[in-house]
Amino acid sequence: MNKDDVNRWITYHGEISYTLTMQRTALESALIPVTAYITIAAVECYRRYPEMVQQIADAMPPEELGRAGHEFATQIDNVHLWAVSNFPLVGRVVLGGAGMLDFDADAARMAPVFDFWQRAASTYRFEDGTHQAWDAGGHATPYRAHVDKIRAGCVPVRDDAHRTQITRLNALLTSYLFLLWFDTRSGYQDTGPYLLDDGRVMLLRSFGRLGVSHFPWSAAIGSAMPYSDVLGAFVLDGVDLTVTDFGTSVTHPEDYLPHVVEFGLFDTASGGLVPIDDRGVDALAAAAKAATKQLYRNIAAMERRDKINAGAYVYFTFLRPFAELAGVELDWTVPRDSMDLYPFLELIDGSIPAPVDQVPTDYYARIP
């Protein structure tokens, strides 16, 4: 991959990420210094991902890793793929702003990252010529081969009480995973629309790593979770559905929950689909509520620097599912290669303003 190829991918990602950022605009939290940890993680990603993706690719072809995302609970998904390219690109922005970007070495650093990403993204998307949901008008259907089995495990929404049960579980898991993942939306991922024979559409929502995981803070609360990975299936009537490359659904009407006509919940930790009954749904909801309260208390008691380091770890380890599937042991210590900038970056307080005056294709600077 030469410099022109690298610049082509820089421009491609810039336009998409500009739009996603403008839609989201703000991400700071009064609990967690999100912007500070993102900038630190991004610098680490720019400086370390090029070597790490090569080690992973040496152990398993990226194409094979992309295809692995067609199975459940792998965490090879929209946002993890998006992050492989975009976190180093954000790191470029940080380093460029500090006058520390070496353009002479830049193409050589980004080329292996883009090569890994585009090969994995291509097979994740069934080699249909697209690389992201953006390219396909907001469609991402990695679980298409499982749709019939999933639909067979769904049940009609019986009454208001049943709808309330579904809504509450969904909200509690979503909120819990935002917290467990330090205010990233990557713990749960939406895919779809899966078009059904009767004209309805299905939204699949993966809730991942609910229990004890490699996140050190999960040890204190995760063991009480009755399931580690679950899949929620929402059959929607009268809803237009698309998904973003952040793995977030966009629906018309916006309030899709009253339009859920069938629902199913499955334990996917083993890679299969094991239906979860009503008692399991209630147990999971109660556990998520309790875990959220305790985890919030634990995070609130952390020092600011510990919060930054924990958040940076979450971001930096977006590459970890690929390494684990490939069987590669890598150093996930963070911060490690951002210590020269760390004293400045950790002081960032509040969101960086949305790039309203920027040209989308210039969101990430091309290599001169």
Partner 1 sequence: MEIGRGTKVLDAAPVRGSWRRLSSPDDVLTLMDTTAEGVVACVADAGATFLAPIFDELTAIVCLSGTPMSHIGIVSREYQVPCIMAAVLGSEPADGDAVEVDCSGAEGVVRSVS
Q: Give the DSSP per-residue string, 345-365.
A: HTT--SPPPP-TTS-GGGSSP
Question: Applying CB under 8 A, does 257 fall inside the site for partner 1?
Answer: yes
Distance from C-alpha of 263 to C-alpha of 258, rounded to nearest angstrom? 12
Applying CB under 8 A, what is the total number of residues that bind partner 1? 39
Distance from C-alpha of 234 to C-alpha of 237, rounded to nearest angstrom? 10
Query: Contact letters (x/-) for partner 1, 25-44, by CB under 8 A?
Result: xxxxxxxx-x----------
The bridge status of strand 260-267 relative to strand 155-156 is: antiparallel
Q: Residue with structure tokens 């470029």?
A: 92
Distance from C-alpha of 102 to C-alpha of 367, rounded to nearest angstrom? 10
**Token output for 332:** 């996930």
Distance from C-alpha of 313 to C-alpha of 113, rounded to nearest angstrom? 19
Q: Residue with structure tokens 């929607």?
A: 236
Give me the count of residues in the chain: 368
Distance from C-alpha of 228 to C-alpha of 242, rounded to nearest angstrom? 26
Measured between its terminal Cα atoms, the distance across the chain in Å is 16
Give residue 270's Cα distance to chain centre: 20
Stretch that binds partner 1, among 19-27, 213-221, 262-270, 319-327 (CB under 8 A): 19-27
Query: Contact letters (x/-) for partner 1, 127-156, by CB under 8 A?
Result: ------------------------------
- State which residue, 24 or 158, has the beta carbon closest to partner 1: 24
Residue 323 CB, nearest approach to partner 1 (Å): 27
Question: Applying CB under 8 A, does 23 fall inside the site for partner 1?
Answer: yes
Query: Contact letters (x/-) for partner 1, 161-200, by CB under 8 A?
Result: ------xx-xxx-xxx-xx--xx-x---------------
Q: Residue with structure tokens 């966009």?
A: 250
- State which residue, 250 or 261, has the beta carbon closest to partner 1: 250
- State which residue, 85 or 186, has the beta carbon closest to partner 1: 186
Distance from C-alpha of 42 to C-alpha of 135, rounded to nearest angstrom? 24
Q: Binders of partner 1 among 276-335, rule CB under 8 A?
A: 289, 292-293, 296-297, 299-300
Please pick, from the candidates 4, 24, 128, 148, the single residue that binds partner 1 as defined by CB under 8 A.
24
Residue 30 CB, nearest approach to partner 1 (Å): 5
Query: Contact letters (x/-) for partner 1, 214-253, by CB under 8 A?
Result: ----------------------------------x-x--x
Burial environment of residue 60 by CB neighbours within 10 A (0 to 12, 13 to 18, 19 or more): middle
**Binding residues for partner 1, per CB under 8 A?**
23-32, 34, 167-168, 170-172, 174-176, 178-179, 182-183, 185, 248, 250, 253-255, 257, 289, 292-293, 296-297, 299-300, 350-351
